[in-house]
């Protein structure tokens, strides 16, 4: 059975897919950079010092400024390794982690699960909502048209042909 990563696991996988093998520290830093508010690190809007973390922030593994703690990312990667999402190699005293799942296959499973859960598998309904909720560039529309043409040209699966009216 294929594992569906959690939102936080997906964040870590995106770092690994984009940057390749990385240490816990590098993954932690990149995850924090990706979710950091604008402005200087460790500072809030207007350069003000960030307040002490709330109990909820600590429980979520975030330090001041909404940053993930190193130990939280380490625990996350250990769980991901148990699930088969990542692996590691020892490099001196440090471990470097690498993805064991392909980006495309994870995105296909996530998209399929979302489509089934939210739209009961209705691709047309999903596309209507997606196109209404975002401004779409001409290039994106051209790419969608090519994808639709390709999908129309594909031969139907045997079980789909059997169920035609």
Domain residue ranges in the chain: 7-101, 104-156
Distance, in Å, from the CA atom of 99 to the CA atom of 87, rounded to the nearest integer, reads: 6
CATH code: domain 7-101 is: 1.10.10.10
Question: What's the confidence (pLDDT) of residue 154?
Answer: 87
pLDDT band at 106 (very low <50, low <70, confident <90, very high): very high
* Percent of residues, the chain, with pLDDT higher than 90: 61
Average pLDDT over residues 123-141: 91
pLDDT exceeds cutoff 90 at 58 = no
Beta-bridged to residue 99, according to DSSP, are 86
**Residue 146 pLDDT > 80:** yes
140, containing H or E segment: helix 138-153
53 and 63 Cβ atoms separated by less than 8 Å: yes
User: Which comes out higher in pLDDT, residue 156 or 14?
Assistant: 14
Helix (H, G, I), strand (E, B) or coil at 38: coil
Q: What is the pLDDT of residues 77-89, one digit of tens each?
A: 999 999 999 999 9
Closest Cα partner for 53 from 45, 11, 37, 61?
61
CA distance 99 to 18: 10
């Amino acid at each position: 059975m294929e594992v569906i990563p959690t939102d936080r696991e997906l964040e870590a996988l995106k770092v690994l897919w984009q940057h390749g093998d990385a240490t816990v520290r590098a993954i932690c830093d990149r995850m924090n950079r990706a979710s950091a508010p604008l402005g200087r690190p460790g500072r809030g809007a207007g350069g003000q010092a960030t307040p002490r973390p709330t109990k909820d922030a600590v429980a979520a593994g975030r330090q001041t400024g909404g940053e993930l703690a190193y130990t939280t990312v380490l625990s996350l990667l250990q769980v991901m390794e148990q699930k088969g999402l990542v692996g590691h190699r020892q490099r001196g005293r440090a471990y470097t982690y690498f993805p064991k799942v392909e980006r495309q296959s994870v995105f296909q499973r996530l998209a399929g699960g979302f489509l089934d859960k939210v739209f009961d598998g209705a691709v047309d309904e999903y596309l209507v909502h997606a196109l209404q909720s975002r401004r779409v560039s001409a290039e994106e529309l051209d790419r969608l048209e090519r994808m639709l043409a390709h999908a129309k040209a594909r031969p139907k699966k045997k079980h789909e042909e059997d169920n035609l009216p």
